[in-house]
Structure 1
Amino acid sequence: MLYLVIPVFNRWAFTRECLLSLRRQTVQGFRVVVVDDGSTDGTGAKLREEFPDVIIVEGDGNLFWTAGVNAGIRRAMELGATRVMTLNNDVIAAPDFVAQMLIWAERLPDAVLGALELDVATSTPIYGGETLDWRTNTRRDLLETLPTEKRHGLHPVTYLPGRGLLIPRRVLDTIGLFDEKRLPHYLADYDYTSVARRHGFPVYCNYDAHLSTYPDESGQEITRRHRSLKGYYQHLFGIRGGGNLRNFTHFSLKNCPKPYLPYFLLNGYARRLVGYFLH
C-alpha cells in the first residue's frame, strides 16, 4: 500500500490544489497523510470538511520539513505502508503521476524514485535530476545534457528532492527516517537519498512521472527577491535558509568522500557566502 505524506504549514490554496490533483489520479488505492504543523489559516478544518479521507497528523508549529515528513512516515508505517512518497503541498500531480511511479516501482522494487518537474505556468521541464562530482563540487543538470527524445524512463542521479520522492519500505527499514536532528529543513532530502544510494539502493529520476511546481514560490527564491542584511543572515544561519552553513557542513561530512572533503567544504562555503547576492 502506497502512502503519500504531505507536510503543510498554512498556504491552504496550494494544499487544496495538490489534493484535488491526487483525486484525479488514474490509479487510486493509495492513502494521503497530511502533517498539519500548526497552521493558522484553517487548514485543519478545511481538510476535514473537503477531504475527509485524508489522514491528518497534527504538529505544534515547530516540526519544519524534516520532522513533519518523519511524523507522517511514522503514521504511514504504523498503518502498514509498503511504500511511502513524500510530496510538497505546492505541486500538482499529472493524472498519471502515481500510475507512472508505481509502474517503475513494481519493476525495480528497491529503487528510490523522483519525478520530472514542470513549470506550472508553461509546462516546461525545469528539474530532471542531477549528478554531482564530489571532487570538484560541480553538478551536471540532466535536462541540459539529455536530448528531448531521451527524456523518458529512468535516469540515475546522485540525489533527489523530497517534492515527489517514492521510498520503498525496505529502504525505510534499512536506513531509517530523515535526519531531523542535523538537517531540520533543507538538504534532508538530498542527504536521505545519498545515504540510500550508498546502502546499495538505486536512485533514479523518473521522466515518465510529471509534477508541476511553482518555481517562484520556493523559500529560497522568495528570500532572494527581497535581499537584505537580515535576509542574508537567515540565508546562512536560519533553519529555512537555503544556504545554511551548518546544514551544508553536516551534509558534506556525512556524504562527501573523505579525500575530497576539504575542497568540497571550502568551495561550498564560498558559494553560499556570495551566492545570495548573485542569483
Structure 2
Amino acid sequence: MLYVVIPVFNRLPYTRACLNSLRQQTRTDFRVVVVDDGSTDGTAEVLANEFPEVEVVTGDGNLYWTAGVNAGIRRALALGATRVLTMNNDVLALPDFIERMLAYADQHPTAVLGALELDAATGEPVYGGERLDWSTNTRHDLLKELTPGERHGLHPVTYLPGRGLLIPLAVIEAIGLFDEKRLPHYLADFDYTSVARRHGFPVFCNYDARLSTYPEESGQEQTRRQRSLRGYLQHLFGIRGGGNLRNFTHFSLKNCPRPYLPYFLLNGYARRLAGYFMH
C-alpha cells in the first residue's frame, strides 16, 4: 500500500488545494498522512471536517521538514505502508500522477522515483532532475540537456527533492529515515536520495509523472526577495537557510567521493557566501 506523507505548517490554502488534487487521482489505492506541525491557521479543523479520510499526525511546531516527514513515515509504516511518497503541501498532483508513479514503481520495485515539475502559472517544466559532477561541483540540468522528444520515461539522476518522492520499503529498511539530526530542513532530501543511490538503489526522475509547483514560494526565493544583512545571515546559518553552511558540510562529508571533497567543499562555501547576492 502506498502512503502519501505531507508535512504542513500553516499555508492552509495550499494544503487544501494539494489534498483536493489527490482526491482527483485516476488511481485511488493509496492513503494520505498529513503531519500538522502546530499550525495556527485552522488547518487542524479543516483536516478534520473536510478531509476525514486523511490520517493526521500532530507536531508541536518544532519539527521542521525532516522530522515532520519522518513522523509521517513512521505512522505510515505502522499502518502497513509498503511504499511512501513524500510531498510538500505547495504542489498539485496532476490527475494521473499517482498512476504514473506506481506504474514505474511496479516495473522498478527498488527504485527511488521523483517527478517532473511544472510551473503552476504557466504549465512549463521547471525541474526535471540533475546529474552532479562531484569533481567540479557542476550540475547538469536534465531539462536543458534533454530534447523535447526525450522528456518521457525514467532518467537517472544524482539526487531528488522530497516534494514528490516515492520511496520503496526496501530502501527505508536498508538506510533508515531522513537525517533529522544533522539536516533538519534543507538538503535532507538530496542527502537521503544520494545515500540510497550509494547503497545501490536506482534513483530516477519520472518524466511521465507531473506535479505543478509554485517556484516563487520556496523558502530560498522568499529569503532572497528582500536582501538584507539579516537575510544573508539567515541564508547561511538559519535552519531554513538555503545556503546553510553547516548543512552543506554534513551533506558533502556524507556523499562526496573523498578525492573530490576538498575542492567540492571550498567551491560550495564560495558559492554560498557569494550566491545570496547574485540571484
1:41 match: 41
1:145 equivalent in structure 2: 145
Amino acid at match of 2:99: A
Identical-residue share of aligned pairs (%): 77
Unaligned runs of 5+ in 2: none
Partner AA of 2:152 in structure 1:
H
SS of 1:98 mapped into structure 2: helix
CA distance in 2, matches of 1:46, 1:77: 25
Aligned positions of 1:59-208 closer than 5 A: 59-208=59-208
The count of residues paired between Structure 1 and Structure 2 equals: 279
Q: Which segments of structure 1 move beyond 6 Å, counting only runs of 4 or more? A: none
Q: Give the CA deviation at 1:188.
A: 0.1
- 1:154-204 deviations in Å (ceiling 9; x for gaps): 000000000000000000011000000000000000000000000000000
Q: Distance in 2 between matches of 1:204 and 1:29?
A: 23
- The answer for the alignment partner of 1:21 in structure 2 is 21
TM-score (norm: length of structure 1) = 1.00
* Offset of residue 92 of structure 1: 0.3
Residues 84-118 of structure 1: CA deviation (Å, up to 9, x unaligned)? 00000000000000000000000000000000000
SS in 2 for 1:166: strand
Cα distance in 2 between the residues matched to 1:179 and 1:76: 18
Equivalent position SS for 1:278:
coil
Instruction: Give me the whole-angstrom Cα distance separating, in 2, the residues matched to 1:181 and 1:250.
Output: 11
Match of 1:232 in 2: 232
1:19 aligned counterpart, secondary structure: helix
Give the TM-score of the pair, scaled to structure 2: 1.00
Q: Note the residue ranges of structure 1 that are not aligned, 5 or more in a row.
A: none
Give the aligned residue type for 1:163.
Answer: R
Q: Match of 1:221?
A: 221
| Matched position secondary structure for 1:73 | helix
1:29 deviates by: 1.1
Deviations 1:134-169 (A, max 9, x none): 000000000001000010000000000000000000
